[in-house]
Each structure stands twice: as C-alpha cells, then as structure tokens.
Amino acid sequence: MCGIVGFIGAEEAAPILLDGLARLEYRGYDSAGLAVYSPEDGLKVVKAKGRLRVLSDIVEGGKSIRGAVGLGHTRWATHGEPSDVNAHPHVGMSGRVAVVHNGIIENFAQIKEFLESKGVRFVSQTDTEVVAQLLEYYYRGDIMEAVTKVLHRIEGAYALGILCADCPDQLIAARKDSPLILGCGDGFSFLASDVTAFLKYTREVCYLEDGEIAVLTREGIQVYSHPYLQPVEKERHHVDWEVSAAEKGGYEHFMAKEIMEQPKAFRDTVFPRIQNGRVALEELRLSASYLREIDKIYIIACGSSYHVGMVAKYILEKLLRKPVEVTLASEFRYCDPLVTHRTLCLVISQSGETIDTLAALREAKRLGGRILSIVNVVGSSIARESDDVLYTWAGPEIAVATTKAYSTQLAVIYLIALRFAELLDTIGAVEYAALVEELLTLPSKMERVLENREAIQYYASIYFNHESIFFIGRNIDYAIGLEGSLKLKEISYIHSEAYAAGELKHGTISLIQPGTLVVALASCVPLFDKLVSNVVEVKSRGADVLGLTVESRGEIFQKTVDHVITVPDTHPMLLPSLDVIPMQLFAYYVALMRGCDIDKPRNLAKSVTVE
C-alpha cells in the first residue's frame, strides 16, 4: 500500500526522498509525489502518475526541487483513479500545508461536504485532501493545535506526514492503525512507512503508537500523546537488518534472490533455537499447565500466511491432539468467533501490519484469547500487540510475492509443534529426536532443491502459455497446492485453482479438458496411491500433468505423469519446506517467460494496510 517518507536535515531532501521512495516501491503504487520546502522557493509540490522514474525525470533526480525538508509518497489508489492530481502530497487551498497519507479516512465525505459549505474548493477525488484542507481550515498560527483538531475529527486509519510552510523547521507525523516508523539521526530525522526507506542513513528507530503525534526536527524527535499533547518518552530500537539485504545483489528480481535465500533464512530462524537436541523457545512464556488448559488453537492470517496456517493445522493437530481452526483474518472479524480465555490464537504475518490480521488480533484479545504471533518485521504493530512473539529471521522481504518469509513461518510452526508437544507430553522421545535431527538437515535439502532449478525452468518454458492451471494434492500437499496456485496467480496472472484431489470429482473435474495443465503434488507417501488415481482420472480427460513427489517415488510417479519434479525424502511433516520451493520457482519462471513485472505485480501491495 502507499509508501511514505519524510526527511529533515542539512542535505537536499528531494534526492533522499526519491531514494527512500525507490526502496518502498515494492509496497505497490500507481503514482508518486514530493513536497519540499526552501526559504527561496517556498513549498513546492510535484506529482506524477506512473512509475517513480516519471517523477524522478520531472525533478531531474531531485536537483530541480530545492530544500532540506520534505515529504515523499507513492500512492496505491483507493479513492479516485491513479492520476497526477490524485497523487500525494495534497495541499490545502492556500498551499500552506502539505500532507501525505497511508490508510483510509472513512468519514471524508461528511468532512468534505462541511468544508465545501465553508467555501473550500477541492481539486482531487481523494479522501486525503480533506486532511490537508481541514488542517488549513483549523490553522490559526499554531500547527499542532490544528493537527489535534483534525485528528479529533477524522475517522479511519492513517499514517500522516505533514509539512507546514509557516514552520519549515519541523515535520509532523501521526498514526492510527497504519504503520509509521521514525528514524533518529545525527542532525537529521526521518519518518517512513518502513525502515528500508532510510536504513542507509540510520538504524536507530522509534515506533510511533496509535494516538501519538511526533514532531521531527534536525535536532531530534519529540513524541506527544493525542489529544492533550503530553510529552511521551519513546524507547529507541536498533535495527539489525543489513542495507544490502534490501538490495538485489546481482539478481534480476528480488523474488529470485529471496527464493535462493531460503536455506539461510531457515537456518537463521531455526538453528539458534535448537540447543542440545531440544527446541528452546526462550521468548515464550507459555507453561505446560496453560497449554493443558487450552481447548482450541485458532490460527488467524491472510494470503500466504494463511496457507502456512493450513499446513500448521495438520502438524499441530497430529502432534498436540488439540483442535486447530484456521481462519482468514478478514472473515474472523465478522464471524462472531468462538474465542475464550482457553483459546490460544496463533497470528501469522510477515509484515506485522496487515490491517485485517491486526483487527482480528484485537478482536481475539477482546474476547479473552491469548495471542502468540509469528512475525517477520521486528517492532511491527502485530508484534507489539501480541502476548508472545516468535520472530522469523528472514530479513527484509521486498518482492510482493512472499517466499522466504513463508518458509521461515513454516520453520517456526515446526518449532512450536515440537515444543508444545514436549510440554504436553504428546510426543515420544524417539519421534522427537528424529524430527529435531531432520529439521537440522532441511536447509541442505532445500539447497538441493534449488540446485535443480534449471529443470523447473524447462517445465515452465513448456507450460507458460497455459491460461488455466490446477493444483491438486491431499493433506499437507493440498496446503502446498494452495500456496503454489497463489504464487502463480499473483505474478504470472494465469488463472489457477488449488483443489483437494479427492474433491475434484465433486465438480471441478468438469473443467479438465485436453491440454489443461494439472500440477499434481504427491509427496505425502501414505496417500501416494490415492493421488495417482486422481492423476489417472485427469489424464484420461486429456490433461497434461506435472508431478511433484519425493525422490523415492520419482521413478514410479514418472510412469503416470508427463513430467516429474522430485524433492529429497524427509519426515512427512517437514515436506512443505521442500515442496514449496519448486512451486515458487515454477511461478517465477512462468512469470519471467510471460514478461510480467515480477516484483511489483499489478494491483498488488506488499503490505495490505487498508481493509
């Protein structure tokens, strides 16, 4: 969703803002803009529809728009089409206040009507312009007073950056339910939607909480509570991420780099948490007696994180013998969920800012559930609002289509399953030891799967022109099929569906015709024969079948399918970590051959911060 960056310092702001916006491009956007102030030129705003490059060309890489304080924005359209005029920053009628915004102002129509009745003329169709106009309406020489009045009046979600030409030695930031992070430097300050925007300049950050207002100056950052403007002492955090981790490092796409980084990300997430052959989750404060008391585990997430939840259900139910319900966060909020103080809610999110997941977390908490989250972004809203957090150590994930975050989320599920099973005494010592041992071999097995990428590229070259692709599998293979299908849809725009193989006969098989591609996942050995029967059914209706199975079944599967991809054998519960890689690579190569914008697929945003 929209990307925000603000800078105040001694250097020219525009090139720094453009660089920051480039690092936020992955969030998804359709237009971009800058507002920069200098005593000579006053407040200058430049906006352009399209890629950041268009804006950058207009301002000559930042050289033609002078000043050492400013705001930048990449817009992902919600209210009003992508256009120059709807792009941010927005300014009030007198051109005194510039505003950038991420989120949705839900009551913008009423405010607009009110302001229009007072003679204010609007130029855009956006909800954000009401914030700029309302600020000028309330402004009587004290910008903080105007900001507090505006925040009192607006409803919805927002991360706001504000620059007032009458007080150009400061930027103002405010947030509610949308991410905003503050960067503290020596002689400069930043605000941004994501730390990657300013990581090059500083790693010292503060997290702005809902209902707080920050004043950024060259000397530092002061945070106040809303509405009484009481100063708030903020803790500073140091961000460990390397700048290079958020760069392509020689790869054509971030997605390719992140696929290849999976063995390392898995190691970083798992190995430090295994000590003397046992899973040690020191971050967790869940006791055996608490776990015995819970009567249900509710998994809440969106998109790929939800697919991790689907895998988790199979693993947790098998190992813990407790019922596990997996639900889409966007549905959870409105389904009157059965959560009590005996429910453990497992919330999964890469960004930690997905608005549906955050809202579901709050609802689960309100109902008395205990929240354990699995999050990649340290200090994100979901991490901060959870009772316990287990971080995935995937590093920054830039490509919209998640790969390494998904793999590390799975890794944390294995750790949780083992630790909880040990606490509940639902696992035998032999199985526990075998699983831990196998867990430690997974990264090198993942490397072997990655080494086989040319074969997958070849299959992609055969099938990239298909317009409809089905993924079938049973049990955990079905859950992986869901993820494989989502990856393909997201980046290659091919229509695709994932089906539990046994369910095909109940309707979907009518769509199979000569030449339809079916990706058949058959790595779940106990169900191998059943899956082979399903493959025979689709083959006899003319489907082309690309199979996936474990090495020990490769030869036999080859007799039924057109082509087969194999992954090393491992413990059945750990197979998802190997199976998902060919699915990611297949989607990647298909999208590459179709000439798609892989890292920034159409209509998608990395972090979905509006409902």
Residues that are catalytic: 2, 606
Nearer to ligand AGP, 62 or 303 (CB): 303
Nearer to ligand AGP, 126 or 327 (CB): 327
Interface segment toward ligand AGP; rule CB under 6 A; list 99-107, 134-142, 350-358, 439-447: 350-358
Interacting residue with ligand AGP among 192, 199, 400, 548 (CB under 6 A): 400
Count of residues that interact with ligand AGP, criterion CB under 6 A: 15
Rg from Cα positions in the chain: 25
Interacting residue with ligand AGP among 31, 304, 492, 584 (CB under 6 A): 304
CA 544 vs CA 206, 292, 535, 582: distances in Å: 54, 48, 10, 18
Question: Under the criterion CB under 6 A, does residue 350 sit at the interface with ligand AGP?
Answer: yes
**Joined tokens for residue 307:** 């697919």
Closest approach, Cβ 260 to ligand AGP, in A, equals 17
Task: Map residues 501-520 to x or -, x wherever contact with ligand AGP holds by CB under 6 A.
Answer: --------------------
Place of tokens 């309406």: 137
Closest approach, Cβ 354 to ligand AGP, in A, equals 3
Place of tokens 């020689």: 250
Residue of 174, 577, 226, 129 whose CA lies nearest to 120: 129
Interacting residue with ligand AGP among 319, 512, 573, 608 (CB under 6 A): 608
Task: Map residues 402-421 to x or -, x wherever contact with ligand AGP holds by CB under 6 A.
Answer: x-------------------
Closest approach, Cβ 357 to ligand AGP, in A, equals 5
Question: Under the criterion CB under 6 A, does residue 349 sit at the interface with ligand AGP?
Answer: yes
Distance separating alpha carbons of residues 258 and 405, to the nearest angstrom: 9
- Assess contact for 483 and 580: CB atoms under 8 A: yes
Interface segment toward ligand AGP; rule CB under 6 A; list 27-35, 160-168, 349-357, 506-514: 349-357
Distance separating alpha carbons of residues 484 and 155, to the nearest angstrom: 38
- Assess contact for 90 and 129: CB atoms under 8 A: yes
Which H or E run includes 87? none
Interacting residue with ligand AGP among 128, 351, 549, 584 (CB under 6 A): 351
Nearer to ligand AGP, 101 or 600 (CB): 600
Interacting residue with ligand AGP among 196, 516, 607, 609 (CB under 6 A): 607
Interface segment toward ligand AGP; rule CB under 6 A; list 96-104, 166-174, 296-304, 584-592: 296-304
Residue nearest to ligand AGP (CB): 303
Near ligand AGP in 107-136, by CB under 6 A: none
Residue of 164, 161, 146, 189 whose CA lies nearest to 43: 164
Closest approach, Cβ 238 to ligand AGP, in A, equals 23
Nearer to ligand AGP, 221 or 401 (CB): 401
Interface segment toward ligand AGP; rule CB under 6 A; list 176-184, 201-209, 395-403, 558-566: 395-403
Closest approach, Cβ 207 to ligand AGP, in A, equals 17
Nearer to ligand AGP, 347 or 578 (CB): 347
**Joined tokens for residue 290:** 């608490």
Question: Under the criterion CB under 6 A, does residue 609 sit at the interface with ligand AGP?
Answer: no
Amino acid identity, position 2: C
**Joined tokens for residue 558:** 């080859």
Interface segment toward ligand AGP; rule CB under 6 A; list 106-114, 176-184, 302-310, 526-534: 302-310
Interacting residue with ligand AGP among 305, 381, 485, 492 (CB under 6 A): 305
Interface segment toward ligand AGP; rule CB under 6 A; list 8-16, 301-309, 330-338, 556-564: 301-309
Interacting residue with ligand AGP among 401, 421, 494, 561 (CB under 6 A): 401
Nearer to ligand AGP, 27 or 175 (CB): 27
Q: Mind giving me the DSSP string for 301-356?
A: E-HHHHHHHHHHHHHHHHHH-S-EEEEEHHHHTTS-----TTEEEEEEESSS--HH
Closest approach, Cβ 463 to ligand AGP, in A, equals 20
Neighbouring-strand partners of residue 7: 70, 190
Distance separating alpha carbons of residues 304 and 410, to the nearest angstrom: 11
Near ligand AGP in 436-495, by CB under 6 A: 490
Closest approach, Cβ 304 to ligand AGP, in A, equals 3
Closest approach, Cβ 307 to ligand AGP, in A, equals 8
Closest approach, Cβ 351 to ligand AGP, in A, equals 3
Nearer to ligand AGP, 308 or 524 (CB): 308
Q: How far apart are the first and last CA of the chain?
A: 11
Closest approach, Cβ 607 to ligand AGP, in A, equals 6
The order of strands in the sheet holding 563-567 is: 495-500, 468-473, 517-521, 544-550, 563-567
Range 118-125 contact pairs with CB under 8 angstroms and sequence separation of 24 or more: 120/93, 121/93, 123/85, 124/80, 124/85, 124/86, 124/90, 125/79, 125/80, 125/81, 125/86
Nearer to ligand AGP, 150 or 587 (CB): 587
Nearer to ligand AGP, 124 or 304 (CB): 304
CA 318 vs CA 296, 299, 569: distances in Å: 14, 15, 20
Question: Cβ atoms within 10 A of the Cβ of 525, count?
Answer: 14
Question: Cβ atoms within 10 A of the Cβ of 272, count?
Answer: 11
Nearer to ligand AGP, 177 or 490 (CB): 490
- Assess contact for 195 and 25: CB atoms under 8 A: no
Nearer to ligand AGP, 194 or 544 (CB): 194
Distance separating alpha carbons of residues 517 and 121, to the nearest angstrom: 55
Interacting residue with ligand AGP among 302, 360, 423, 587 (CB under 6 A): 302
Question: Does 89 sit behind a cis peptide bond, omega within 30 degrees of 0 on the bond before it?
Answer: yes
- Assess contact for 198 and 183: CB atoms under 8 A: yes
Distance separating alpha carbons of residues 479 and 185, to the nearest angstrom: 45
Give ∠ CA 284-287-290 in degrees, rounded to 5: 120
Closest approach, Cβ 299 to ligand AGP, in A, equals 13
Amino acid identity, position 489: K
- Contact residues toward ligand AGP (CB under 6 A) are 302-305, 349-351, 354, 357, 400-402, 490, 607-608
